Amino acid sequence: MTPLKVVPRLLRVASVLLAYRLDELVDAAHLFRPLKLLRPLFGRPPVDVARLSRGERLRLALTELGPIFVKAGQVLSTRRDLVPADIADELALLQDQVPAFPGAEARAIVEQQLKAPVGRLYAAFDEAALASASIAQVHAATLHDGRAVVVKVLRPGIDARIARDVKLLRSLGELAQRWHPNADKIRPLDVVAEVEKMLENELDLQREGASASLLRRNFASGADLYVPEVHWDLTAPRVLTLERVHGASCDDIAAIDAAGIDRKALAAKGVRVFYEQVFRDNFFHADAHPGNVWVDLARRDEPRFIALDFGIMGSLPEADQYWLAQNFIALFERDYARIAQLHLDAGWMPPTVRVDELTAAVRTVCEPYFTRPLSQISIAELVVKLFQTARRFELTLQPQLILLQKTLLNIEGVGRMLDPEIDIWAVAHPVLKRILRERYSPRRTLREVRKRLPEWFHAAPQFPELVRDALRQVARGERRELADPVALAQRQQEARRQQRMLGSGLLGGALLISATLLWTLAPQHGSWLPLGAGLAGLAAFAAGWRRS
């Protein structure tokens, strides 16, 4: 989009912001300031804005500006580390319901993507949309074997429209980055980048199907969380066919009570399911608002949730997942010094940060919360405030951790809506401890060693050659950073140490695996032989570490 094409759209944005009396946003961009003189010419908004809060005015303005701005507002609502709580709460209410596009166009897209007439693909296809949003809409259909499904279809031309509006958003972000007095805190270009990434994911329905399939596999029993089945033979990048499910939105308290479902048990189950997604499976539904989380009303005695819409999913790097779990445990146990040390050990903060100062800051945030009954403490709210405090110490957070914050807020909201008296701490703490026990148990560690042993054996013969090549490069001056004799000697010593550790590790791992196999596959030999092999393996590990 050329600058000349951007200007009229920027002026349109400014006029809407002015109409909703969002003058501070206009003042942030010098380009827009003269437009305040022309406010009477812009017309009046459809509601009386004088009595509305700033968050309500911003929400209504974004809704009027269109779907892409609604998406941007939804992303901004998750950044409670950047925007005030009252604005984040209002932006979280944004809905992107838009008029449906003609069913005949949906049918044509399905036929083009699946390379067959709709009549051959489905026994019935309802051209009237069940639901319609800014990116896609959903149609009811029936398979030839009688099973009910829903067909999600991307809007025609949506790629081009989103590309155009993202460019406009980027232009607005650049203006805000340059002129807004708090640009370093709001980081508008980072927010725009998050919107782009989210939209890129939502425009690939095959990716959404893969996410649904993995989540369904993680909860294969369906006892706590049910995920609709993906029909892969009827799925393509712009068409997704899912099993049709029935239930009530988790905020429909009247329907849940009418079905005789124990809401307290359901709320506790929701918290457990969240922690299992994050810390057991490392794959969580990151858009868990009530519209995407239903309750199966047919299961009165064993209530369960139904998950919908898998366009936004989250996972964490394995290291961050571990550090985050340890932070939660320390938070549950009110160990503020450990929280501070964990932030440094995780590399989320520069090593120059003083642990005692960080500990004092964490204590200052947490102590006021612990004066309340545990049932009234919000883990999500506390985590958000901790991250906000840590930003003063140059905390660097990955977008996935921000996504986790938002999901935690959503899940707690659902839990307290179902059971206002739920003690989330009492539910979450034992679940997290159990998951960590299982995840980092000796048995699991042995499985990981066995899995990686072939790779280690394969790499071991190459290690001396790699060290020799590195030393030759130093001698030829190709690695000048090692030209210092002291540094070179240290590097040679380190290489020998790693060789000793690798050799001892390989020997110890082989003996431990041998002990495991003898124990499980040859019990007739008794326990002494595998026990001896296991002790020898541990001794090899210890020798390697001691000599290093």
The residues that are catalytic are 287
Residues in Cβ contact with 186 at an 8 Å cutoff, skipping those fewer than 6 apart? 82, 83, 176, 180
DSSP H helices, 260-317, are 263-275
User: What DSSP string runs through 202-261?
Assistant: HT-HHHHHHHHHHHHHHTTT-SSEE-PPB-GGG-BTTEEEEE----EETT-HHHHHHTT-
Amino acid (one-letter) located at 505: G
Alpha carbon distance 521, 237 (integer Å): 47
Comparing C-alpha atoms, which of 303, 329, 534 is closest to residue 428?
A: 329
Comparing C-alpha atoms, which of 163, 191, 196 is closest to residue 77?
A: 191
Comparing C-alpha atoms, which of 281, 315, 289, 311 is closest to residue 399?
A: 315
Comparing C-alpha atoms, which of 227, 206, 198, 203 is closest to residue 215?
A: 227
Residues in Cβ contact with 111 at an 8 Å cutoff, skipping those fewer than 6 apart? 117, 118, 121
Angle, CA 416 vertex, CA 409 and CA 424 arms, to 5°: 75
Q: Which residues pair with 151 in a beta bridge?
A: 139, 241
Q: How far apart are the first and last CA of the chain?
A: 60
